[in-house]
Amino acid sequence: MTATAERPATTIFRRPRSKTGIWSWITTVDHKRIGIMYGYAAFAFFIIGGLEAILLRVQLSQANAEFLTAGAYNALFTMHGTTMIFLFVMPASAAFMNYLLPLLVGARDVAFPRLNALSWWVFFFGAIFLYSTFFFGTSLPPIGPDAIPGNLPDGGGPGSFNWISGSPDGGWFGYQPNAGPFYSPGTAMDYWAGGLQILGLSSLISAVNFIVTTFNMRAKGMRLMRLPVFAWMTTVTAFLLLFSLPIIAVALFMVTIDRQFGSLFFAATAGGDPILWQHLFWLFGHPEVYILILPAMGIVSEVFPVFSRKPLFGYSAVVFAGAAIAFLGFGVWAHHMFASGITPVAQAAFGLATMTIAIPTGIKIFNWLGTMWGGRLRFTTPMLFAIGFIAMFTIGGLSGVTHSIVPSDWQQTDTYYIVAHFHYVIFGGAVFGLFAGLYYWFPKYSGRMLDEKLGKWHFWLQFIGFNLTFAPMHWLGLQGMVRRTWKYAPEMGLEGWNQAVTAGAVIIAISILIFMWNWARSRRRGRVAGMDPWDARTIEWMTPNPTPEHNFSEPLEITKLDHFWHLKYDEDEEGRPRRREDADAMLEHLEDVGNNPREPIHLPSSSFFPFLVGLGVPIIFYGIIYHTSIAGKALIVGGILLILASCVGWGIEPVDEPHYGDHDEEHGEEPVAEEGELVDD
């Protein structure tokens, strides 16, 4: 082949080769490194969103408190919700998916490694874009006679928090026309709409990548019904993202065009229909709820069998229930709109559809309980978090069913009962599940174990703090405490429980500090994990800890569900698991081969271009916000040119060593040119 000789001559591009240092992280296409970056970024935003929540709770700990102005309060609850959903739970789930999906299906990397890096960089720059609103954004008083004094961050008061004044304040749901150009004339809501748009783009790219990875990159013998449940839930989540993000993309474009270019989609005075926004938003927003919870369900479905020493009870039922939840999730959006004036027929239909979601959810819960039933339970920290997940999620699920009864929902709409409900499912559910995953898979990342004693302190404090925070919100809500309102009168008698709630929030904060201490310490000085520290069942544990860059050294051939377990165990006469005699030798062999592959393994080459394309996206959105000025127009043009140029570079950059196979041969949606061009056919 003349190609190899020609290659350096025909191109000015060289693939970056750093293996360490900042450039190696900027140019990496390794799914594990990308997952780690997602994880740390998500955790940073968890802290930021948590601090926002603490400020809200300080304000609410007393009746008629003057700690925050109404405007600052609006800004903080908007950013708290937006941060926790789009910048914490979604990227934290993405961290697990990135790190684990290729390992779970038995692949070298995801289907499109560079697109995967692109997802991450688009997310990263999108998050920076969204938070740059604090520096560049403005929220101005509403235009016209509807101005409400004190409704803005800079309205004075001892805790006016002027630095918040650039923050979006229209709620994470951005209801129209409140978040439109008339009532929110500053640029803050443009930052919100643009930021969500960019984050959505990132997730859409990931979704395509993960679906293709699951379907096309499986190891030999890894049939779909042998996939670990987390891989299944990743795929189901990816489908939810795939089909729901285009909807919110259109809705956000409509908002941006309304605000920036004067279209009239949601301008009620000109005949526009604000209810359309609600439909489009919740058409995305309800699947989004399952996007948050399904990965956590996948995680606990991995944790329960390991710590019960039993196979997952009803594997196929768990998988199909996950898919059913996703499917039904597209048919229930209007239950967020029972108080918005939809017809009785629609209310009845959506109420019924909502109730049916309880069926697949119940199937899952009973399957997890069935997995534990009669098992040899080990109450390790991941197991505790997983059990906490079931208990808390069930409470949240049951209060959710009460919303599906329309008259009951009218009573509960916009009260703290709703706040209690969704924190039980998202914090009690998703976040507990994510922590279970962190404790469970920490050895894969670091090669060490998180400290169990600190872990149990973390769990119990978080569990107690969580319930102290969110359980009283049920009764506060039923007593009539309304959401999104910065004050309540002392004679309402709400102060006592509110103080309990604030105390609970502080306890959660302490538990998180313990976790951070545990993490920082264990990463360097934790107990060395060795191979298979949990006596696990799935094939990601067939690689050494920490996972080597190339994942698996030898081709796999999957023969069963829980393949790894069956390599270690067979059954005695009574059907009980009996460790094979050669199990330890096999583990030793796996560790040795895993760290010292017998033949050279070619990995996807690093690339600068995902970083550059990702950088171009927010530049365009800055330009749109300031499009009336020359600088804004220049930013739009510059951003587009940067993206186009980077795409061309992406297309024609060469592969390092063409002799070995390389996943990176596959490219994304910009098949401008391929390495193949450089080869004379």
Partner 1 sequence: MSAEHQHPTPSQYWKIAGILAVITAIEVALFYIDRELELGALNAWMLIALSAMKFVMVIGWFMHLRYEKGLVSRFFAAGFGLAIGVYAIVLAALGVIVIRGG
Partner 2 sequence: MTDVAHVEPVHEEHESTGVPTLKLGMWIFLSSEFLFFGALISNYLLYSNRAGFEGLYPAEIYDIPFTSVSSFVLLMSSLTMVLAHNALSRGDQHGTRTWLFATAALGAVFLGGQVFEFTEFIVNYGMKLTSNPAASAFYVLTGFHGIHVAIGVFLLLSLWGISHRRGGLSEKSGLNVEMVGLYWHFVDIIWIVIFTVVYLISLPPA
Binding site for partner 1 (CB under 8 A): 215, 239, 242-243, 247, 273, 275-276, 279-280, 283, 330-331, 334, 342-343, 346
Distance CA 636, CA 387 (A): 50
Distance CA 179, CA 170 (A): 5
- Based on the residue annotation, tell me whether 316 is a catalytic residue of this protein: no
User: Looking only at Cα atoms, what is the longest distance across the chain?
Assistant: 86
Beta strands, E only, 524-677 = 569-571, 577-579
Q: How far is the CB of 12 from partner 2 (least distance, A)?
A: 15
Of these residues, 172, 486, 541, 569, which one is catalytic? 172
Total number of residues binding partner 2 (CB under 8 A)? 77
Nearest Cα neighbor of 488 from 59, 68, 63 is: 63
Tokens standing for 596?
Answer: 């010292």
**Alpha helix (H) residue ranges in 61-89:** 70-82
Q: Rule CB under 8 A: is residue 601 a binding residue for partner 2?
A: yes
Q: How far is the CB of 363 from partner 1 (least distance, A)?
A: 22
CB nearer partner 2, residue 215 or residue 460 = 215
From the list 76, 211, 392, 468, which residue makes contact with partner 2 (rule: CB under 8 A)?
Answer: 211
From the list 128, 143, 250, 359, which residue makes contact with partner 2 (rule: CB under 8 A)?
Answer: 250
Q: Token pair 């978090």 is at which residue?
A: 385
- Crossing angle (nearest 10°) for helices 315-329 and 344-372: 160
CB nearer partner 1, residue 276 or residue 648 = 276
- Based on the residue annotation, tell me whether 646 is a catalytic residue of this protein: no
- Based on the residue annotation, tell me whether 301 is a catalytic residue of this protein: yes
- Based on the residue annotation, tell me whether 336 is a catalytic residue of this protein: yes
- Mention every residue, 6+ apart, whose C-beta is less than 8 A from residue 640: 616, 620
From the list 271, 341, 344, 575, which residue makes contact with partner 2 (rule: CB under 8 A)?
Answer: 271
Question: Which of partner 1, partner 2, none sits in contact with 342, Cβ below 5 to 8 A by type?
Answer: partner 1
The stretch near partner 2 (CB under 8 A) out of 61-69, 475-483, 608-616, 643-651 is: 643-651
Q: How far is the CB of 604 from partner 1 (least distance, A)?
A: 24
- Based on the residue annotation, tell me whether 584 is a catalytic residue of this protein: no
- Based on the residue annotation, tell me whether 203 is a catalytic residue of this protein: yes
- Based on the residue annotation, tell me whether 202 is a catalytic residue of this protein: yes
Q: How far is the CB of 278 from partner 2 (least distance, A)?
A: 13
Q: Rule CB under 8 A: is residue 661 a binding residue for partner 2?
A: yes
User: How many angstroms from the chain centroid is the CA of residue 164?
Assistant: 25
Question: Which of partner 1, partner 2, none sits in contact with 346, Cβ below 5 to 8 A by type?
Answer: partner 1
Q: Rule CB under 8 A: is residue 594 a binding residue for partner 2?
A: no
CA dihedral 590, 591, 592, 595 (to 10 degrees): 110
Nearest Cα neighbor of 302 from 225, 205, 229 is: 229
Q: Rule CB under 8 A: is residue 391 a binding residue for partner 2?
A: no
In the shown chain, the binding pattern of residues 127 to 166 toward partner 2, with x for contact by CB under 8 A and - for none, equals: ----------------------------------------
- Based on the residue annotation, tell me whether 563 is a catalytic residue of this protein: no
Contact 389, 429 (CB under 8 A): yes
Q: Rule CB under 8 A: is residue 112 a binding residue for partner 2?
A: yes
Nearest Cα neighbor of 453 from 530, 527, 531 is: 527
Of these residues, 7, 15, 226, 335, which one is catalytic? 335
Q: Rule CB under 8 A: is residue 280 a binding residue for partner 2?
A: yes
- Based on the residue annotation, tell me whether 18 is a catalytic residue of this protein: no
Of these residues, 361, 380, 446, 547, which one is catalytic? 361
Tokens standing for 179?
Answer: 């978040």
Distance CA 335, CA 531 (A): 48
The terminus-to-terminus CA distance of the chain in angstroms comes to 10
Nearest Cα neighbor of 113 from 653, 679, 619 is: 653
Distance CA 316, CA 296 (A): 18
Q: Rule CB under 8 A: is residue 549 a binding residue for partner 2?
A: no
Contact 285, 208 (CB under 8 A): no
Of these residues, 7, 31, 259, 336, which one is catalytic? 336
From the list 163, 261, 379, 460, which residue makes contact with partner 2 (rule: CB under 8 A)?
Answer: 261
From the list 309, 602, 627, 633, which residue makes contact with partner 2 (rule: CB under 8 A)?
Answer: 602
The CA–CA distances, whole Å, from 229 to 4, 322, 520 equal: 42, 9, 30
- Based on the residue annotation, tell me whether 364 is a catalytic residue of this protein: yes
From the list 452, 495, 535, 674, which residue makes contact with partner 2 (rule: CB under 8 A)?
Answer: 674
**Alpha helix (H) residue ranges in 598-675:** 609-625, 630-652
Q: Which residues does the annotation mark as catalytic? A: 80, 109, 172, 202-203, 286, 288, 290, 301, 335-336, 361, 364, 483
